[in-house]
Amino acid sequence: MANQSFAKSVMKKTALGVIIGVLLVVGAKYTHFPPVFQIMFFLYAILGALVFILLDAPPMKRLEGVKAVGALVVFYLLLSGLYIAGASILPQFDPEDEKGKIEKVLKLRRAQSEKGKAEELIARAKELDERAKAISKQLSSLGADAKVEVAVTTSAGGSGAAPGDLVALGKEQWELQECYNCHKLYGQGGKKRGPVMDNIGNLMTVEQLKEKIIDPKSWKAEGFDKDYDKGKMPDKYKDLMFPQEIDALVAFLASLKDESVDTPKPIKMN
């Protein structure tokens, strides 16, 4: 009898959960929520139904001995599977994207570190060793007048961008330093943490932009008083970035001259 009543309750609450879920989906669609959020709202409704089913569930029978141990093992496997599946179903960040970025950010630092220097020395020694062996081999096999092709290697550049293209290098710095997390540009990123940057090149000179990056307290964006007072812009770039990286970023920012985008006016502070 109790089981029948519970089965009825399950059916009733499942139906109610589905109805509420559908209503939520329709409401969300009407109010322009993307499909992924509509699915999420539906799942919340089903979760609610499950909770209310559990509240009225009949008492569980006591398990003993092997049955209890078995139930525990199954329970742990279910939980483990649920958590792994839950984490896996969410959007995943691709580490390969970051690996390239890290390589670019740390390249100059690695070269500067003692370890980097030692590694570079060993690498160069190995390279010369191989070249010497190749030369010896060619000399012995071809004679003294034979032409020896020696590959000329260039020193590693700072980035994948074409050398001399300071603006392109600066754009790369914009990405590498994750400026987009606080500043909106080309309609992307930002979320109001920092001012929009599309027209900053018309509002600040190269020197002023450089001053702002090195000393964030030197300039304030109009309408960002609270953020300025809280020191939201990190005072770290003078330590983290090499001078040539700052110059490149400044060159990129100075090139941003889209007057159609309302960019907050900079105010000199000290």
Partner 1 sequence: MKTLNRSLWIVIALGLCGGAVAFGQVPDAPLVDFPYSGNRTAVWVVAQLHILFAAFILGAPIFAVVAEWLGYKNNDPKYDRLAKEVIKVTVILYSMTALTGGLFIFVLLGTYPDFSTWLIKHFFLVFAVIYPLLFILETIILYTYFYSWDSMKGAKKGRHIALGILLNIVGTVTLFVIDGPTSFMNTPAKAAGDLSLVEFIQTATLWDKMANFSWMPLNLHRLVGNVTFGGFIAGLIAAYMFMGSKTDEERAYYDWMGFVGNMIGVGALLLLPFMGYLLAYELCDYDASICPYMMADQLSMFFEMQGAMVGLIFLASNYYIWLSLKRIQGVEQVRISGFVAVVVLLMPAIMGFTWKMFPPPEWQSLIVLVILVVLPMILGKVPGLKNFTVSAFTMIKVGFLMIVVADAIWMTPHGFVPTQGLATEELELPSWASELALMPAKNAAAFTLVFLTVVNYLLYNRAIKRGTIVWGKIDFASQFVLIFLAFSAIWTMGLMGAVRSLTRKYYHVYNLVPDFTPEAFTPTLAYSAWWITGVTIVFYAVVSFAILVTLKAGSPKSATSLASSVPIEAK
**Residues 110-129, interacting with partner 1 (CB under 8 A):** 110, 113, 115-116, 121-122, 124-126, 128-129
Q: For residue 158, which amino acid is it? A: G
For partner 1, the closer CB: 6 or 37: 37
Write the interaction track for partner 1 spanning residues 230-259; mark x where CB under 8 A is met and - where it is not: xxxxx-x-xxx-------------------
Determine which residue in the list 23, 47, 156, 206 makes contact with partner 1, applying CB under 8 A: 47
Give me the least distance between CB of 202 and partner 1, in Å please. 26
Determine which residue in the list 1, 2, 60, 162 makes contact with partner 1, applying CB under 8 A: 60
For partner 1, the closer CB: 15 or 240: 240
For partner 1, the closer CB: 205 or 244: 244
The verdict on 93 binding partner 1 (CB under 8 A) reads yes
For the four alpha carbons of 138, 141, 145 and 146, in that order, the dihedral sign comes to negative
For partner 1, the closer CB: 3 or 61: 61
Residues 163-222 that bind partner 1 (CB under 8 A): 175, 178, 180-182, 188-189, 191, 193
Alpha-carbon span 31 to 24, nearest angstrom:
10
Q: Which two tokens stand for residue 201?
A: 């090149």
152: left (phi over 0), alpha (psi -120 to 50) or beta: beta
Alpha-carbon span 92 to 87, nearest angstrom:
9
The verdict on 29 binding partner 1 (CB under 8 A) reads no
| CA 60 from centroid of its chain's CA atoms | 46
What is the H or E stretch that residue 110 is in? helix 95-112
Task: Annotate 3-26 with DSSP letters as a single string.
Answer: HHHHHHHHHHHHHHHHHHHHHHHH
Q: Cβ distance 224 to 264 under 8 Å? A: yes
Residues 127-146 that bind partner 1 (CB under 8 A): 128-129, 131-132, 135-136, 139, 144
Nearest to 182 by CA among 140, 159, 213, 218: 213
For residue 204, report the phi and psi dihedrals to the nearest 5 degrees. Answer: -135, 145
For partner 1, the closer CB: 36 or 162: 36
Q: Which two tokens stand for residue 217?
A: 């307290």
Determine which residue in the list 3, 62, 154, 155 makes contact with partner 1, applying CB under 8 A: 62
The verdict on 22 binding partner 1 (CB under 8 A) reads no
Q: Which residues pair with 220 in a beta bridge?
A: 267
The verdict on 75 binding partner 1 (CB under 8 A) reads yes
Give me the least distance between CB of 248 and partner 1, in Å please. 19
The verdict on 6 binding partner 1 (CB under 8 A) reads no
